[in-house]
Structure 1
Amino acid sequence: MNNAPDATDALSDVLRLVRLRACVYFVRDMAPGWGLEAPTCTNGPLHMVLEGRCVLRHDGRDTELRAGDAVLLPHGAPHAMLETADARAEPGPEVMKRLMDSPNEKPAHPSTRMLCGHFEWDGTLDHPMFAELPDLIVVRDVFARDGAGLFRIVVDLITNEQTGDAPGASAVADRMGEVLFVSLLRAWMADHSPVQGVLATMHDARLNRALTYIHENHAANVDLTLLAREAGMSRTSFATRFHDVMGKPPATYLTEWRMLQARKLLVRTETPISEITEAVGYGSDAAFTRAFKRRFGETPARLRRTAGG
């Protein structure tokens, strides 16, 4: 029996921290012979086949995709999307500009219906979860799995907003793109059950409770006894299990989370450093400054100056 949670609490904490955003480019019927080639980029491309089939070319390999299959490329790897393996690929930016400039143009005999966009996050807050994501994520047949209803609703909403002219349509489609990304990430986690790291810890029911506790109480005196109690385990069992699954002790992850929260406050707010010190669980500015410099290679004051805060 799999008692793993959906990991929505701890995962949501991370996604809020890094300000996950999505942008939907288009939902379009593609003309026969279509192909687009995307170079390396700073965001994460997202493609979903709504009708028909196509081929993804990535890292020298072709992967056939059918209706209901979706692709995420979290680190912006170069790739091509093609109707067939022998189709000619045009530069992606040119194809997307042409499609977006003519939203009402429809091919007489469409071969594939595609949803394309990208997702991005604040890379200066380099939470380790994102480094764990592979270059390529393929989620198969989302319309035939548990939770298919959510995928259909989201895709229908995006399609309606993309094809309509209501005020705010683009903003609504982009917000639905964020829902689509999170839903695809959860589906991939369920399919692959990560073995070690942040994602694996989120996927473990007991450890996920402790992880969420760290996220919600990082300003307090969080110790091993509290975390073990939250997980419903003995101190020794919890410490061993957390280290084995996360790949680091609870105290190390707690410090990492505190430092990311501090960096967020330094860059996004004008909160005095003395208040940030307290907000992330340190008893003195000196101790906080030492920990911050070990993590980021500069003092909090210097980061704030260079960030223009």
Structure 2
Amino acid sequence: MSKKPQIATARPPAPDMPVDVIGQVIEAVHLRTVIFGQVAFGTPWRLCIPEREYLSFYIVARGSAWLELRGDPALALSTGDAVILPLGSAHELRDTNRSDVPPLSFDFDGCPREPHSARAGGDGPVTSVIIGHFALGRAPRNALLASLPPAIHLPAGAVSASPQLAGLVPLILSESSSPGAGSSIVLARLADLLFVHALRFWSSNVDAPAAGLGAVADPAIGGALRLIHARPAEPWTVERLATAVAMSRSAFAVRFTELVGEPPLQYLAHWRMTIAAQRLREDHAVIADVAQAVGYANPVAFSKAFARIQGVGPGAFRRQQRLVQRAQPR
């Protein structure tokens, strides 16, 4: 028996509209941004964070510090610097003396969700750091994000060269130091912008690899990605995608896999289930409607495909997400 999913009848293709592939990926997998506030660390101090699903970020409001990741050179951070850890890597943030002191315990899940101030460490010179994180959706993570480095460092000097970043970091620092009504929302949205502009900054100013995010800039593969993202319910085949971008089937399959990090139909399957997961988080999503939106006429076939990629069926996934949403502080 064929194991191919039952695909909904293809509609006549609509005129192609510009598609922001990276924007769609971030929107689909990005669930929540939390800024815990500003922590004043007095020397000596050392903050040790284990590997986690969250994407941590830090902005140095005052002073300086070292960021250490296993297997990578330490990063010197100073006032106005921002750093994002896209892979959720284990890391240490510590004073400039790299004092050998017991690590501080920081319970991210136990922190208030409203911006607040705290003090930690010793009685020496103080470094103030704004701490936050991005909580992303369940694995598997989109292949286009696989090329991101363990840390994206945005030095204050380099940030000033980007008009957008030059405005964002001071706004975050200002809002954090003088919070007012709605500060949690303001800071979260500013942090979202920081994340997007950090990706732009990294891909345009750093010797970023052609794979991953760089695939979007490739004329042929970027075109195929835009087709997949614009019309995910289409009954795409490798041959159809190759023809659409004027490549042979074999050359297209090889180049797509090389640049994106996985074969075309595997990327399509993962993207469909990412969209499905995004829709299932909505309160009134109907599983049959979600299945239809991502190209499955048969909800049973959709449920099997969803469970294969997400680890649980769509019904269980939706129940889990509702429990998570209810548990989140308002």
Tell me which amino acid in the other structure corresponds to 2:142: H
Name the residue aligned to 2:241.
227
Q: CA–CA distance in 2 between the matches of 1:193 and 1:170?
A: 33
Q: CA–CA distance in 1 between the matches of 2:26 and 2:102?
A: 34
Query: Any gaps of 5 or more consecutive residues in structure 1?
Result: 1-7
Check whether the contact 1:43–1:118 (CA below 8 A) recurs between aligned residues: yes
User: Could you say if the C-alpha distance between residues 161 and 50 of structure 1 is closer, same or farther in structure 2, counting changes exceeding 3 Å?
Assistant: closer
User: Could you say if the C-alpha distance between residues 88 and 185 of structure 1 is closer, same or farther in structure 2, counting changes exceeding 3 Å?
Assistant: farther
Q: CA–CA distance in 1 between the matches of 2:321 and 2:185?
A: 28
Q: TM-score, normalised by structure 2?
A: 0.72
Q: CA–CA distance in 2 between the matches of 1:154 and 1:126?
A: 27
User: Could you say if the C-alpha distance between residues 92 and 301 of structure 1 is closer, same or farther in structure 2, counting changes exceeding 3 Å?
Assistant: closer
Q: CA–CA distance in 2 between the matches of 1:50 and 1:308?
A: 36
Name the residue aligned to 1:279.
293
- SS of corresponding position for 1:55: strand
Once the two structures are superposed, the pairs formed by residues 75-224 of structure 1 within 5 Å of their partners are 75-86=88-99, 88=101, 91-93=104-106, 100-101=116-117, 112=127, 114-123=129-138, 126-130=141-145, 133-134=148-149, 136-144=150-158, 148-190=162-204, 191-196=206-211, 198-224=212-238
- Post-superposition Cα deviations, 1:128-151, rounded to whole Å, max 9, x if no partner, equal 4455544x3142535336852211
Tell me which amino acid in the other structure corresponds to 2:49: P
Tell me which amino acid in the other structure corresponds to 1:38: C
Tell me which amino acid in the other structure corresponds to 1:261: I
User: Could you say if the C-alpha distance between residues 116 and 192 of structure 1 is closer, same or farther in structure 2, counting changes exceeding 3 Å?
Assistant: farther
Which of 28, 33, 36 is matched with 1:25 structurally?
Answer: 36
User: 1:298 Cα deviation (Å)?
Assistant: 4.7
User: 1:168 Cα deviation (Å)?
Assistant: 0.9
User: 1:30 Cα deviation (Å)?
Assistant: 5.7
Q: How many residues align?
A: 294
Considering fraction of residues, name the structure with more helix.
1
- Post-superposition Cα deviations, 1:35-93, rounded to whole Å, max 9, x if no partner, equal 23133244222123455532223327643334554332331514122232237465153
- Post-superposition Cα deviations, 1:198-247, rounded to whole Å, max 9, x if no partner, equal 3342343542232132122102233446534664x324443332122123
Asked which structure has the greater RCO (Cα within 8 Å, sep 6+), the reply is: 2
Provide the identity percentage: 26
Q: CA–CA distance in 1 between the matches of 2:293 and 2:317?
A: 17
Check whether the contact 1:143–1:152 (CA below 8 A) recurs between aligned residues: no
